[in-house]
Copies of this chain bind each other. A is one copy, B any other.
Amino acid sequence: MVKFGKHPDRDMLALAVEAGLKAINDTGQPDLKVDGVYVGTAASGQFCVMENTGPMVAEQLGLLPCEAVRIENTTASGSTAIKEAFRAIAGGFLDTALVVGVEKMTHLPLEAATKVIASCMTHPSTETVHGATMPALAAMFARKYLAKFDLSTKYMSMVAVKNHENALLNPYAHLQKKISIDDAMNSPIVADPIRVMDCAPISDGAAAVVLQSGKSAAKSSKRPVKILGMAHSTDRQLFYQREGDGVSIGALKVASQKAYHDAQLTPKDIDVAELHDAFTILEIVESEDVGFFNKGEGALALEEGRTQIQGDMPINTSGGLKARGHPIGATGAAQIVELVWQLRGEAGPRQVQGARTGFACNFAGFGNSAIATILQVR
């Protein structure tokens, strides 16, 4: 990974290349031959006037000739790129692939960046034109969820406090600042009841992973981590049109159930998880939808400390999107990097002791597209 944050002096390509080089070096394979490069970026054209990022990253890393492509699935671009590479290797088309998730966003004025994000995440004719922004959608969802389970907004703030604490232990996190529950609860309103401290920041950053066939991965100096399940589900764009109870993310339920099925595991087998907390309410909701806690009990589990690093179901040890930051195309790859570090015992002061099986969910839009991944160390 490249440290997430503001990188005013570096362009998108430089961030992607640094992350890619680190991932390659991490294999400890001096003769590594990369057959495919997959770059996940949500809106490199609009943010950086640069398309064609796959070939450019491959070239700058000296990996040519190989094949190179860019994958876009908005805020799930990073994990979707990993999925495409995973399938190419599992299907026998490639042996080794480099996946880089990257986004550079902070150089744009806030209003311009927000418009680009809206063009990624909201529907042009039924949401964007009416001014629907991501915080507005999150606010409506949070109101419904909190009302349904008779919860106060304090629980959302508790997610922020926990994730900021975790980020203090993560040198790659954007926001390295301890906050109190009062800081969070008194931060300015963005879209009632969503406050500044309920929102992931706009960040620059890149994260990368090398995927290999089992045979080649065995040559690594580090312990290989295996993808046991990786599933993708897309639901309707407009939340109100989706099936379900209105307080869940349906696509995530479908994707996670499929990932558990493929891995032949259950939520009880998961030791550490990275969830998509673009807004704090989402960490609570997702912790239920992926099966860690019963519906409506995520907030209680959070309050009891079960999702802390020392708890029985640690979530977002990296600081999550909330505090590690959210360079949108990079996020899905960064989640996998954090899990790999955790499963190899390389997470330093934020290490979950004995973690062997990890779970990540990365999603796009307001949850209309979800990718669930289950990893296990050998």
Binding site for B on A (CB under 8 A): 13, 37, 42-43, 45-46, 49-52, 54-56, 58-59, 64-74, 80, 84, 87-88, 90-93, 116, 119-121, 123-124, 232-237, 250-251, 254, 364-365, 368-369
Given contacts A87-B87, A88-B87, contact A237 B59 (CB under 8 A): yes
Q: A54-B369, A55-B365 are in contact. List 13 more A-B contacts (CB 8 A).
A: A49-B119, A51-B74, A52-B364, A52-B365, A56-B123, A64-B235, A68-B369, A69-B73, A69-B80, A87-B91, A87-B93, A88-B91, A91-B92
A56 to B43, CA, bound (A): 16
Q: Are B120 and A51 in contact, with the CB atoms below 8 A?
A: yes
> Which residues from chain B contact A13 at a C-beta distance below 8 Å?
124
Given contacts A52-B364, A91-B87, contact A65 B233 (CB under 8 A): yes
From the candidates B42, B45, B236, name the one contacting A43 in the complex (CB within 8 A): B45
Q: Are A120 and B52 in contact, with the CB atoms below 8 A?
A: yes
A50 to B80, CA, bound (A): 18
Least Cβ distance of A310 to chain B in Å? 36
8 interchain residue pairs of minimum CB distance:
A91-B91, A67-B232, A68-B234, A51-B120, A45-B46, A70-B72, A45-B45, A49-B119
Task: Tell me the dominant secondary structure on chain A's binding face.
Answer: mixed
A92 to B91, CA, bound (A): 8
Identify the closest chain B residue to A119 (Cβ): B49
Copies of this chain present in the complex amount to 2
A27 to B343, CA, bound (A): 46
Identify the closest chain B residue to A46 (Cβ): B45
Least Cβ distance of A243 to chain B in Å? 9
A8 to B141, CA, bound (A): 37
Q: Are B55 and A72 in contact, with the CB atoms below 8 A?
A: no
> Which residues from chain B contact A369 at a C-beta distance below 8 Å?
54-55, 67-68
From the candidates B51, B56, B119, B120, name the one contacting A72 in the complex (CB within 8 A): B51
Q: Are B124 and A55 in contact, with the CB atoms below 8 A?
A: no
Least Cβ distance of A301 to chain B in Å? 28
Least Cβ distance of A268 to chain B in Å? 26
* Residue in A66, A254, A369 with the greatest tally of chain B CB atoms within 10 Å: A369
Can you give 25 contacting A-B residue pairs, CB < 8 Å? A42-B51, A46-B49, A49-B119, A50-B124, A51-B74, A51-B119, A51-B120, A52-B73, A54-B72, A54-B73, A55-B364, A56-B237, A59-B234, A59-B236, A64-B234, A64-B235, A69-B72, A72-B72, A84-B84, A87-B87, A87-B88, A87-B91, A88-B91, A91-B92, A91-B93
Identify the closest chain B residue to A90 (Cβ): B91
A74 to B52, CA, bound (A): 6
Q: Are A234 and B49 in contact, with the CB atoms below 8 A?
A: no
> Which residues from chain B contact A234 at a C-beta distance below 8 Å?
37, 54-55, 58-59, 64-68
> Which residues from chain B contact A52 at a C-beta distance below 8 Å?
72-74, 119-121, 364-365
Identify the closest chain B residue to A47 (Cβ): B45
> Which residues from chain B contact A70 at a C-beta distance below 8 Å?
71-73
A116 to B66, CA, bound (A): 26
A66 to B232, CA, bound (A): 8
> Which residues from chain B contact A91 at a C-beta distance below 8 Å?
87-88, 90-93
Least Cβ distance of A336 to chain B in Å? 17
A80 to B73, CA, bound (A): 15
A88 to B254, CA, bound (A): 19
Q: Are B364 and A237 in contact, with the CB atoms below 8 A?
A: no
Least Cβ distance of A353 to chain B in Å? 35
> Which residues from chain B contact A65 at a C-beta distance below 8 Å?
233-235, 250-251, 254
> Which residues from chain B contact A119 at a C-beta distance below 8 Å?
45, 49-52
